[in-house]
Amino acid sequence: MVKKHVLTKKEDKKLNACRVVTDLLDTDGDAVESWRIFRIMAEFVEGFELLRKYGCAVTFFGSSRTKPTDPYYEAAEELAAKLAKKKFTVITGGGGGIMEAANVGAFKVGGNSVGLNIKLPHEQQLNPYTTESLSFDFFFSRKVMLAFASECYVYFPGGFGTMDEFFELLTLVQTKKIARVPIVLYGADYWKPVLQFFEAQMLREHKAISPEDMELFAVVDDISTAYKHILKVVDGTCGNAPQV
């Protein structure tokens, strides 16, 4: 008969330091409560149930640290308002900065203003300019919702989170895991170094991407151009697509 090995406190502590355990299992709970998979499933179900209620939508990304006096904040607010008037649902990550600006724009003109917030200990709280919102515990389930939420995606200057969302969507479109959707990069000065890296290093030096991959996004530098581009490329892609 094989003797069952009982973990010592030291062995148990070492095991529970594993990333998979700490991220997906609550080691302080009991055997049933420790499984977070049901909370993860609930976030997916609630997210898709929320998003299915809306027609044409546009998702805004950008820094949560952008101040209301910043020109990019003002541009995001104005662009969101113009699109909301065209019956676009405006979707953001629900936080401050650019996300708040887009929600403000839609909210002020009586449009649908949705926030898909992430619960963070310090930096992010849900802004008060949403007509409907959902808060997530897990980044990956929220990312899925944001990546499948809209017919158009607008990226303002931002940090790691904005870049993460940008590369996520760019990869999905490039690999044809989702249908091609308009990806708009607002602010040429901000995006220029990134695009130079794409072309010089990824494309020419290392041949890690194809020339056509550089056409998966559009760079715009003013509200009018962004607005006209979005209406043009979205027209006809969903049942109630706004007209130019």
Write the pLDDT tens digit of every residue in 85-107.
999 999 999 999 999 999 999 99
Q: Taking a C-beta distance cutoff of 8 angstroms, is the pair 157, 72 a contact?
A: yes
pLDDT over 90, % of the chain: 65
> Tokens representing 1?
């008969």
Distance CA 173, CA 220 (A): 20
Task: Mention every residue, 6+ apart, whose C-beta is less than 8 A from residue 213.
Answer: 174, 198, 203
In order of 105, 114, 218, the CA distances from 82 in angstroms are 8, 16, 19
Write the pLDDT tens digit of every residue in 25-83.
555 555 445 567 888 899 989 989 999 899 899 999 999 999 999 999 999 999 999 99
Q: Is the pLDDT of residue 178 over 80?
A: yes
Write the pLDDT tens digit of every residue in 202-237.
999 999 999 999 999 999 999 999 999 999 988 755
* SS3 category, 185: strand
Looking at residue 243, its pLDDT comes to: 47
Task: Tabulate helix, strand, coil % of the chain (nearest 5).
Answer: 45, 15, 40
Handedness of CA 74, 83, 111, 158 (dihedral sign): negative
Domain 54-234 architecture? 3-Layer(aba) Sandwich (3.40)
Token pair 């706004």 is found at 242
Looking at residue 120, its pLDDT comes to: 73
Which of these ranges, 37-46, 115-124, 130-139, has the smallest mean pLDDT? Answer: 115-124
Strand partners, 134: 116
Calculate mean pLDDT across residues 129-141: 92
